[in-house]
Amino acid sequence: MTGVNRKRPGQWITMIGFCIAMEVILARFLSLHTWNLKIGFSFLPVVAAAYWGGPLAGGLTGALGDLIGALLFPVGAYFPGFTLSAFLDGAVYGVIFQKGTGRKQILLAVLIVQLGISLLLNTFWLTVLFQVSWKDLVALRLFQCATGIVIKVLLLGLVLPVLQKHLEKMA
């Protein structure tokens, strides 16, 4: 089911646009932001785009959602590193979910995103942006990462089967 639908490019663009709009709304208006933490559900439209359209769709949704949100509704200074991280989030979900959306794939995708991108890469971006010690900051971000793993695995286990049913109806 995943991958760019070459027969219907208009549908692909519409779906990505909708997911980008939902990502901006969830990230900028329905999430909690502090200087070093972000808690919310803006990952869901990125996952939906990645599941439906593959790694490029997921990556574009994450990156364009971050860029548009930062330009229209800034929460702080824009930093392109977070846009790269947002692209990588969506691309990881797209690559992993091409092989299926079972428990193993969900856990693997969430672990890569939470540990590799959120904990390691985004913590590095924060150290560059705010000139703080990586060691001190990573300790603070461990709770967010651990909580994110649990929440994302549970939510994706519930949401992906529903998403799959709806996307099958669209096909």
Q: Which of 111, 28, 81, 71 is nearest to 45 (CA)?
A: 28
Q: How confident is the model at residue 164 (pLDDT cuts 50, 70, 90)?
A: confident
Q: Containing H/E element for 151?
A: helix 134-170
- What is residue 31's DSSP assignment? S
Q: How confident is the model at residue 35 (pLDDT cuts 50, 70, 90)?
A: low
More confidently predicted of 170 and 20:
20
User: In this model, does residue 133 exceed pLDDT 50?
Assistant: yes
User: In this model, does residue 171 exceed pLDDT 80?
Assistant: no
**Which residues are bridge partners to 38 per DSSP?**
33
Predicted local distance difference test score (pLDDT) of residue 36? 61
Q: How confident is the model at residue 26 (pLDDT cuts 50, 70, 90)?
A: very high
Burial (CB count <10 Å: 0-12, 13-18, 19+), residue 11? middle
Amino acid at 148: G
Predicted local distance difference test score (pLDDT) of residue 2? 45
Structure tokens belonging to residue 152: 């994302």
Could you report the per-residue pLDDT of 48-92, keeping only the tens digit for each?
A: 999 999 999 999 999 999 999 999 999 888 999 999 999 999 999
Residue percentage of the chain with pLDDT more than 70: 94
- What is residue 112's DSSP assignment? I
Cβ contacts of residue 2 below 8 Å, gap of 6+? 50, 51, 52, 53, 54, 94, 97, 98
Burial of 86-112, coded b for 16+ CB within 10 Å and e otherwise, reads bbbbbbbbbbbbbeebeeebbbebbbb
User: In this model, does residue 31 exceed pLDDT 80?
Assistant: yes
Predicted local distance difference test score (pLDDT) of residue 125? 95
Average pLDDT over the chain, rounded to whole? 90
Q: Which of 93, 79, 81 is nearest to 45 (CA)?
A: 93
Angle at CA 126, nearest 5°, toward 124 and 127?
65
Q: Which of 98, 93, 82, 28 is nearest to 59 (CA)?
A: 93
